[in-house]
Structure 1
Amino acid sequence: MKQNTRPVLDVCRLAAALLVITIHTAPLSDVNTEADFFLTRVLARVAVPYFFMLTGYFLEKGQWRRVGCTLGKTALLYALSVLLYLPLNLYAGAFSPFAPGQFLKELLVDGTFYHLWYLPAVLLGVPVAWGLRRLGWKGGLAAAGALYLLGLMGDSYYGFAARVPFLKAFYEGLFTVSSYTRNGLFFAPLFLLLGALCTRVRLKWAWPVAAGLFAAMCAEAFLLKGAGAPRHDSMYVMLPLCMLALFCGLAQSNTGRCRAAAGTALWVYLLHPWCIVLVRGAAKVLGLQGLLVESGPGHFASVALASFALAFCVQWAAARLAPVKMPPTARAWREVDLAALYRNAQALMEALGGCGLMAVLKADAYGHGAVKAAKALRRSGVRAFAVATAAEGIALRRALVRGEVLVLGYTPPEQAHVLRRWRLSQAVADEAHAKALAAAGPGLRVHVALDTGMHRLGIPAQDTAAILRVYGMKNLRVEGIFSHLCVSDMRAPQAVAYTRWQTQRFQSAVQAVRAAGFEPGQVHLQASYGVMNGETQGFDYARVGIALYGVLSDAASTVRRLPLRPALALRARVASVRQLKPGQGAGYGLAFVAQRPTRLACVTIGYADGVPRDFALRGGQVLIGGQRAQAVGRVCMDQMLVDVTEVKEVRPGSVVTLIGTDGGQTLRAEEFAAVCGTITNEALTRLSPRVAYVWKN
């Protein structure tokens, strides 16, 4: 837990878990029945809704991107819990081979042990809440509230509902499917959405409001009890309102997380019924039944103590057995600022006017992380993406990235079924490629590539007959046509003229397609430099790559200047600092020889990470403590040397910046690439996979 954090939400999980134990141990049953009712049937009823609200709160914080992960982890936890309580169920004869329907009911809805209903409720409630969330706050909460009220009449208000024949028949039928209405359909969605709402709402006087609503809930519970209405007592009219106020107050006080508290509370919840059995068994063996079982407070205290002790043991064992994860900033890492990427997309879309933005995510988004980049770009309004290979497109689809994904590179026709399965659009390399793709079956989405003078991929732009034949192929769904400009990054008159000539050839080909009665689909020609140096009017998309990440291929000026911000920083750490005397050499081949008393820092990044071996010999510099420092000697596979004689307070662990800002100094990617003898496109995409990702914003 970090200093100056208040992980209120996670710490309160422990209190909620303790309240769940009270429900199953009745601490005040032999002291005062009314007090025990208040504790176990009123106060403790806030515990499970609190768990649901936490799930909704953190799902909303992540914009519901981790729904799949949440469901997967919950399903795994439920499977383990079913196995954990299998011995007790078998001992009690709970599973009958002659009643498979009852077993499925318990497995899918009720839970295979009395407290496990929460896990299938999460598995059902999260998808329901996710669907309702898409209706908007008013629609989603109204629908979830209606479900809750329907469940309420089968719970605390059942005595009233049962007086109406058709309602009684409805609930009796419902109870054959689910023993209780506090389940994933009627109970969980409302609290999940209320938790999500607490990320947006700040409630003034939350604590007094919560106290007043809780008092009203107490009155409701005792009135219902007196009327003999409850079939069960998990759902009250005032409970959602009380929980909203309570959770708002806690969320407004919360800063940070405490994973240890969250994990302990989870294991206490899962393990406490086993602890009840173990305490009763131990009490019988030790002759302490009066103290540990028959006494309500003693039984509760012993079960709570055993549950927390066992939970701590499980946490300790899990920590020892879990694979050790090095922090991403331990050695060399790239910081990717997703907010910068978002703003760059916004600036580009504004500059493009009526022309759409197709984000190019080739080579793991130019070293920025394709999946994270795609999701950030979708939030900015981007709905079309381009990749180099089918494998890159599949990776986006596996991560649930929606929108068009165009494969710009060649895909063998034998793999057409893969393109179809993952809903990928394929660039047609030439007419022969189109014929082979068409022969692979119907329904394949393609964009026709034209060669307007780069002589790489595409049907020659002047070969109108071949272009029209591709448009006429029955099995292909032609959804676009495009070409690529090869000298749009150059501003020399000859290059400008060639770009204009390529553009004219492309536009003539598109006009010929229209004249032949075909709809050309999405028309796109310009890439990053086409946008920065040319016009985008008349096209449906601009395929923007390197500019999207806030840099250009080199430091040359462009016609158009946009407020783009670099999204990537490259950093490493100082491993060691040592003193050299004049005349002493360092590194392979002793390529560096000290000409004065010199302090050398060994930095944890090398050519296996993407820094060229001759980086220092080319004059490469880094930033340490906001100061520029000269790299020296030959870059090794895993380390490099930096002269830090003039840099103050350099020690092992100090951060070294190769690309990015430190203090008032900045090293741009264009400068790094120039020293490496290349362009930023290559310099960024050749960063090694072992250079970890750190996501910002």
Structure 2
Amino acid sequence: MTSKPNYGGLDLLKFLVAFLVIANHTSPFVSFSPQLDFLLSGVLTRIAVPIFFMSTGFFYFRKWTGDPLRDNKALYGYLKKIGKLYFTAILIYIPLNVYTGYFTKEFTLYFLLKDIVFDGTFYHLWYLPALMLGIMVTSFLYEKMPMPFVLAAAASLYIIGLLGDSYYGLVAGTGISQMYDVMFHVFDYTRNGLFYAPVYLALGALAARKQTFQTNPIINGILFMVSLDLMLIEGIFLHYAGIPRHDSMYIFALPASYFLFQWAFSWKGKSNKRFREWRVWIYLLHPIAIVLVRGAAKTVHLERLLIMNSLLHFVTVCLVSIVMAAAAARIYGFPLKKRWRKSASPKEIA
């Protein structure tokens, strides 16, 4: 008889990697060592979103029944709840969109639709449409194919995405790049719900089906560290070779995030509702925290301390994000926690 999985470790992991997202947007070490900051902000932080997607895939497909009617109902329910959260986030960021000049004379209906479907209406909101599109793609594959073919199809999409992202330099100037030029008129990055999300959602589904988190935690820890080292080497090589168009997608991010995800199941701790609620709001609200910290620093003339000192800037943004997340969770509540009892739970969002 196997013991009940420990989801407290996974809650903790997802809470911690939310701060890697903030690190990606604040560059904590840039004022001390641009090289070290690149390793953190340009490479290491790229395991955060894969963990979120993988967790969603794990909890979502753990409840897959094989009954098309029930599974489709669960899918539509999931999309509806994520759609409501996305709509809320879009509304929250309209003032900042106005402030940053989003609604300029170049703004068109096509521009808006492209952002809503693929890129997000603010720079971090791409995650929510990517989650919605990715779960639709992965659910289709999961329903129609055996698991090995699901993984192969999702990996093929990821490879296409790699060549439009960190490995773009390999095809730039060739006939293949013309295909990407066409795609980049539809979306800005291949880091989206079509090419990026499905493979991580599928890996989460694999973990749910195989219960592979029961693997020796020491092995998972070692494999994570080895994969992470290889990912750092990959990032360094690509950066100095000038290959990336963007730096969101790495080959070794796949094993690094997967083994970290598996390892987290062995971490001690109780499942934490607060971590789950705050984590989502930290992700959604941290760009506002960045603006508030920078604005406050300029108002009280502490730019040298709170802006120019990148590490202190990062820490301050994290603290403000936590306070805002706690307030949002208390005032607004977690939008999905009460309604998606049969088809989802708070664990399944980010």
Q: SS at the partner of 2:31? A: coil
Deviation at 1:254, TM superposition (A): 7.1
Give the aligned partner of residue 18 of structure 2. 17
Tell me which amino acid in the other structure corresponds to 1:169: Q
Tell me which amino acid in the other structure corresponds to 1:220: E
1:155 to 2:153 alignment:
no
Q: Pairwise mapping of residues 33-48 of structure 1 onto structure 2 (< 5 A)?
A: 33-48=34-49
Cα deviation 1:425-458 (Å, max 9, x = unaligned): xxxxxxxxxxxxxxxxxxxxxxxxxxxxxxxxxx
Q: Pairwise mapping of residues 468-483 of structure 1 onto structure 2 (< 5 A)?
A: none
* 1:86 corresponds to which of 78, 94, 110: 94
User: What value does the CA root-mean-square deviation take over the aligned residues?
Assistant: 2.1
Tell me which amino acid in the other structure corresponds to 2:279: A
Matched residues in 2 for 1:95 and 1:239: separation? 35
Cα deviation 1:115-174 (Å, max 9, x = unaligned): 0000000110001011111211111000000000000011000011114x2111011111
Matched residues in 1 for 2:326 and 2:94: separation? 23
1:261 to 2:275 alignment:
yes
Give the aligned partner of residue 176 of structure 2. 167
Matched residues in 2 for 1:6 and 1:182: separation? 28
Matched residues in 2 for 1:111 and 1:92: separation? 15
Q: SS at the partner of 1:178? A: coil
* 1:187 corresponds to which of 179, 196, 200: 196
Distance change in 2, residues 1:196/1:255 (3 Å): farther
Give the aligned partner of residue 68 of structure 1. 76
Matched residues in 1 for 2:292 and 2:269: separation? 38
8 Å contact kept, 1:198–1:251: no
Give the aligned partner of residue 686 of structure 1. none
Give the aligned partner of residue 121 of structure 2. 112
1:296 to 2:310 alignment:
yes
Give the aligned partner of residue 130 of structure 2. 121
Deviation at 1:250, TM superposition (A): 1.5
Name stretches of at least 5 consecutive residues in structure 2 with no aligned partner.
Answer: 66-70, 344-350
Q: SS at the partner of 2:64? A: coil
1:210 to 2:224 alignment:
yes
Matched residues in 2 for 1:166 and 1:5: separation? 49
Deviation at 1:96, TM superposition (A): 3.9
Tell me which amino acid in the other structure corresponds to 2:259: A
8 Å contact kept, 1:27–1:36: yes
Deviation at 1:181, TM superposition (A): 0.5
Deviation at 1:270, TM superposition (A): 0.2
Distance change in 2, residues 1:147/1:299 (3 Å): same
Distance change in 2, residues 1:184/1:270 (3 Å): same
Deviation at 1:215, TM superposition (A): 0.7
Give the aligned partner of residue 185 of structure 2. 176
- Count of residues in correspondence between the two structures: 320
Matched residues in 1 for 2:199 and 2:7: separation? 27
Deviation at 1:6, TM superposition (A): 5.8
Matched residues in 1 for 2:8 and 2:220: separation? 18
Matched residues in 1 for 2:141 and 2:270: separation? 28
Matched residues in 2 for 1:296 and 1:76: separation? 35
8 Å contact kept, 2:290–2:317: yes
Deviation at 1:245, TM superposition (A): 1.5
Matched residues in 1 for 2:242 and 2:323: separation? 39
**Structure holding more strand per residue:** 1
Tell me which amino acid in the other structure corresponds to 1:48: V
Cα deviation 1:454-476 (Å, max 9, x = unaligned): xxxxxxxxxxxxxxxxxxxxxxx
8 Å contact kept, 1:21–1:300: yes
8 Å contact kept, 1:95–1:103: no
Tell me which amino acid in the other structure corresponds to 1:31: F
Deviation at 1:264, TM superposition (A): 0.3
Q: SS at the partner of 2:215? A: coil
Give the aligned partner of residue 346 of structure 2. none
8 Å contact kept, 1:109–1:117: yes
Matched residues in 2 for 1:266 and 1:172: separation? 34
Give the aligned partner of residue 139 of structure 1. 149
Give the aligned partner of residue 248 of structure 2. 234
Cα deviation 1:455-500 (Å, max 9, x = unaligned): xxxxxxxxxxxxxxxxxxxxxxxxxxxxxxxxxxxxxxxxxxxxxx
Give the aligned partner of residue 51 of structure 2. 50
Name stretches of at least 5 consecutive residues in structure 1 with no aligned partner.
Answer: 326-371, 373-398, 400-697
Q: Pairwise mapping of residues 524-563 of structure 1 onto structure 2 (< 5 A)?
A: none
8 Å contact kept, 1:194–1:244: yes
Give the aligned partner of residue 605 of structure 1. none
8 Å contact kept, 2:7–2:265: no
Tell me which amino acid in the other structure corresponds to 1:47: A
Q: Pairwise mapping of residues 245-394 of structure 1 onto structure 2 (< 5 A)?
A: 245-253=259-267, 257-318=271-332
Deviation at 1:253, TM superposition (A): 4.3
Matched residues in 1 for 2:266 and 2:139: separation? 24
8 Å contact kept, 1:198–1:244: no
Tell me which amino acid in the other structure corresponds to 1:203: T
Q: Pairwise mapping of residues 265-664 of structure 1 onto structure 2 (< 5 A)?
A: 265-318=279-332
Deviation at 1:256, TM superposition (A): 5.8
8 Å contact kept, 2:164–2:180: yes
Bigger Rg, structure 1 or 2: 1
Deviation at 1:203, TM superposition (A): 3.5
Deviation at 1:260, TM superposition (A): 1.3
User: Structure 1 residues 141-150 or 236-245, which shifts more?
Assistant: 236-245
Matched residues in 2 for 1:282 and 1:96: separation? 27
TM-score (normalised: structure 1): 0.44
Tell me which amino acid in the other structure corresponds to 2:40: L
Tell me which amino acid in the other structure corresponds to 1:141: L
8 Å contact kept, 1:5–1:256: yes
Matched residues in 2 for 1:133 and 1:40: separation? 33
